[in-house]
Structure 1
Amino acid sequence: MLKRLPPEIWDIIVGFIDTQEDCVALPSSHIVTEALLSCLTVCKTIGFSAQEKLYEKCLYIDSAWRLKDLLKSSVFRAIGSFDPPSTTWTGFSALYLAPFSGDTIDELEVIVDIQILFSTLHKTLKRLVINMPLRSVYPNDDAGPVVRPALRQAFQHLIAIEEFVSVRDELYLSTICPSDFIEEPNLWCQWTNLRRLALYNVDIDGFFITEIQRATKLEALVLTRADGIYEGIEKLLRNAPQSAKVYLVNSKEEFLQTTPFDEAPTIYTDVLRAKLSGRGEKTAAGSASLKFLFAEDYQTEHEPNSPSPIDICQNWIEGKALDGSLWRGQ
C-alpha cells in the first residue's frame, strides 16, 4: 500500500481545482485559494503548478500589506527581471486592487508601490478591477499636486489592458483643477487593446463621447449611476463602436425617479426607451446596442440600516466584475 500519492497524481489533482475561468481574482478566504495554498506545502513538484494558479487567479490585493508582500515575492521579482518562471507562465494577467487603508489616496507609500507594480506588469496585466477613492483628494487640495500626478503616472504604464473596471468612479486621475475648465485625456482611451470598460458615475457629455470614439476595439461599456443619460444616450450609442454593447446600471430605486417629462415618479427606463424612437433596447443600424441592468441588494429590502443606492451599485458591480459575469449582461 502506498504511504503517499506520487507527485504525478498530485499534479493531476491540482489541475482539477476549479479556478473559475471567467473570474478576475479570488480572495484569500475563498475555498479555491485555500486549497491552492495547501498544495504549496505538499511537495516541490506540485508547488509550481499551485503557485502558477495562485498568481493567475488569486491576485486579490485588498490592503497595503498584501501589495507590499506581492512586490517582495520571488516570483514578482523574477517577472521584474524579465525571467518568468517558465515559458508557459500566465500569471499576473488579472488583478483586483484596493490597497488604500481608508477613504483617502493620501498615502504616498502605497502610491509608490502601485507605480512599481504597474511598471513591472505593464506587459502582462490584461484584466484589472480597482476599488480606490480617487475623488478623495482633488488637484487643488494640499496633497493633490503630489499624489495625483504620481497615481496618473502609475496608470500610464499599463499598455496591455483589455478589461478594466473602476468600482468607485470614472478613473478620475485628473491633475488639473476643475475650475480651470481644461479636460485631460482619460487614460483608458489610450489603452489600444481595451475591449471591456466599466466606469462609475461618469458624465455622458461631449468630451466623454469623443473619447469613447477613440476606443475602437471596445466590445462592452458598463456605465453605473451615470450622469447625463437622458441628454447624451442617443449620441453615445451613435458614436460608440457599432459592435459595442452599452449597459446602464442602477438600483431599481433610482431607475424609478422623476423624469424630464413629468414631476410624478415614472419608470426612467421606459422613458429612455420611448426617447429612442420606440425601439426599446434595440437601436438603429450602425449604432451600439443598449441594455439596462438592475443592481441588486442581497439584504432584505427596507430593513434598518439598509445600504444606499451607491453601496448597492458599487457592491454589485464589484462582485459581478470579479466573477466575470458582468460582461454577460445578466
Structure 2
Amino acid sequence: MPSPTRPSSPPSSPSSPALPPELLLLVVDAVLPPNPLQLLPASHPATKTLLSLTRVSRATYARATRLLRERCAFVDSARRLADVLLCVPRLVPGLPAVLSLRHMTALYLSPFGPSLAADDLPTATRVRELLCEVCETLRRLVVQMPFGSLDPLDDGHLGVRRTLREGFEQLHRLEEFVCLGSYPALSVPPEGNTDVWRLWPELRRLVLFGVPMDSHWLWWDIATLPRLEHVVLARPVGLDAVNIKDEYFHKLPRDDARLGRDIKVVLMDLVYDLGVVRTERWREIDPEERMTVEVFEVPLPFYGDETPLQLVTEWARRGALDGSVWRLGGTRVRGEEAG
C-alpha cells in the first residue's frame, strides 16, 4: 500500500521590501504642520503620530524624538509638569542615545490655574527645576501664568515669586519671550527689583501684557537690551500719557550704538480700547525712523461673553504658538510732521 503523500507546504509569501531609512525620515518630517514655529499640544494628531513613530524602528526613533523636543513641549498643567520632570533624565535602554528632554528649544508653560496662591510652592519649585534644566538650549518660551494674582504681602515666608524668579533668571540664552494675560511681575525687593526679562542679553522678540507705558524702567530695559528688535505691548496701560519715541530715544546718549538698531513696537488691543498714540516731534526725535510703531486692533467677535482681556489674550496666544504674532499686519503710526 503506497504511503500517503505529505501535503505540500503553502508557498511562502515574499517579504515586503523595507523602506530605505532616508524615506522613513521623510515620512517622519511630513507628520508636522508646515509652519516650523507652531507649538503642538499633546492632543494634536501630529504629536500623537510622532510618539507612535518613536516605537516603529530605530531609524524613526531618533528623528521623532528630536521633533517632539523641538515642537511638542507643551506643559499646560501641574500634572504634566511633574511628568516632564520625571522624564528629563531618562533614556530608553537598548535604543540609540538621543537628546534628553533638557535639550528642548521651544516651550509652552502654563502649569497654574486661574490664580496664583502662596501654597503653590510645589508647582513653582517644579517650574524652577524645569527652567534650570532647559536653560542651555531653550530659545523660545511662551508662558501663561497669573503673576499679578499673588500679592507680595501674601507671599509670606514660602516665597513663590522668589522661587519662580530663580528659574526665569537662568534663561540667559532665550531669544523670544511671550507672556500672556498678565505682566511677569517677579520683582522681589530688595535683591531682585529688576524686571526678569531684562536679564536675558540674547532676547530679540518680546510680548508683554498690561505694561504701564509711563514706566521709566520699561523703556530703559527695551533700549538697553542690545538685540531686541520686536516688541508687542498688549493692552498697554496709560498710553495717552507718554510719547513712545521720546521715552525710548532719551534713555541713552544719542551716540549709543544700541539706539542705532531698527526696532518695531506693536500696540495691541481691542478696537477703541487702545487710546491715543502721541506722535509730536517724532521727526525730530527719530529722523532716520529707526523705530516703527504699529497699532493692531483685535477684532470683536459677533457673539461671546469673553472679557476684553480674554479676547486679546486668546488672539495673542494663537499667534504666539504658531509664530504669526511676529507677522501682525498693524497700521503704522507716523509722526505729525511726517503727515
- TM-score, with normalisation over the residues of structure 2? 0.79
Q: Name the residue aligned to 1:195.
A: 204
Q: Name the residue aligned to 2:126.
A: 113
State how 1:14-163 maps to structure 2 within 5 Å.
Answer: 14-23=28-37, 25-73=39-87, 76-77=88-89, 85-86=97-98, 91-106=103-118, 107-143=120-156, 146-163=159-176
How far did residue 324 of structure 1 move? 0.3
How far did residue 21 of structure 1 move? 4.6
Q: Give the whole-Å Cα distance in 1 for the aligned partners of 2:162 and 2:314.
A: 28
How far did residue 136 of structure 1 move? 1.4
How far did residue 3 of structure 1 move? 4.0
**Counterpart of 1:31 in structure 2: which amino acid?**
P
**Which protein is richer in helix relative to its size?**
1
Q: Name the residue aligned to 2:262.
A: 243
C-alpha contact 1:7 1:45 (8 A) present in aligned 2? no
Q: 5+ residue gaps in structure 2?
A: 1-13, 252-257, 330-339
Q: Give the whole-Å Cα distance in 2 for the aligned partners of 1:144 and 1:164.
A: 29
What whole-Å deviation, never above 9, does each CA across 1:109-168 have from its counterpart, x for those lacking one? 111111111111111111000000111112111547521111111111111100001002
How far did residue 48 of structure 1 move? 1.8
**Counterpart of 2:245 in structure 1: which amino acid?**
E
State how 1:178-217 maps to structure 2 within 5 Å.
Answer: 184-204=193-213, 205-217=215-227
Q: Give the whole-Å Cα distance in 2 for the aligned partners of 1:118 and 1:90.
A: 9
Aligned pair count reads 299
Q: What SS class does the counterpart of residue 77 from structure 1 fall into?
A: coil
Does 2:183 match 1:170?
A: yes
Q: Give the whole-Å Cα distance in 2 for the aligned partners of 1:213 and 1:120.
A: 30
Q: Give the whole-Å Cα distance in 2 for the aligned partners of 1:34 and 1:296.
A: 33
**Counterpart of 2:182 in structure 1: which amino acid?**
D
What whole-Å deviation, never above 9, does each CA across 1:194-230 have from its counterpart, x for those lacking one? 0001100011221211122221110101000111222
**Counterpart of 2:80 in structure 1: which amino acid?**
R
How far did residue 78 of structure 1 move? 5.9
The two structures, once aligned, show a CA RMSD in angstroms of 3.0
C-alpha contact 2:245 2:282 (8 A) present in aligned 1? no
C-alpha contact 1:283 1:289 (8 A) present in aligned 2? no
Q: Give the whole-Å Cα distance in 1 for the aligned partners of 2:150 and 2:101.
A: 38
Q: Name the residue aligned to 1:272.
A: 277
Q: What SS class does the counterpart of residue 152 from structure 2 fall into?
A: coil
Q: What SS class does the counterpart of residue 290 from structure 1 fall into?
A: strand
C-alpha contact 1:52 1:90 (8 A) present in aligned 2? no
Q: What SS class does the counterpart of residue 322 from structure 1 fall into?
A: helix
Indicate how the Cα distance of structure 1 residues 183 and 18 shifts in structure 2: closer, same or farther if over 3 A, else same.
closer
Does 2:299 match 1:296?
A: yes
Q: Give the whole-Å Cα distance in 2 for the aligned partners of 1:166 and 1:159.
A: 17
Indicate how the Cα distance of structure 1 residues 294 and 71 shifts in structure 2: closer, same or farther if over 3 A, else same.
same
**Counterpart of 2:325 in structure 1: which amino acid?**
L
Q: Give the whole-Å Cα distance in 2 for the aligned partners of 1:215 and 1:88.
A: 31
Q: What SS class does the counterpart of residue 306 from structure 2 fall into?
A: coil
C-alpha contact 1:134 1:172 (8 A) present in aligned 2? yes
C-alpha contact 1:104 1:134 (8 A) present in aligned 2? yes
Identity of aligned residues (%): 28
Indicate how the Cα distance of structure 1 residues 144 and 164 shifts in structure 2: closer, same or farther if over 3 A, else same.
farther
From 224, 227, 244, give the equivalent of 2:237: 227
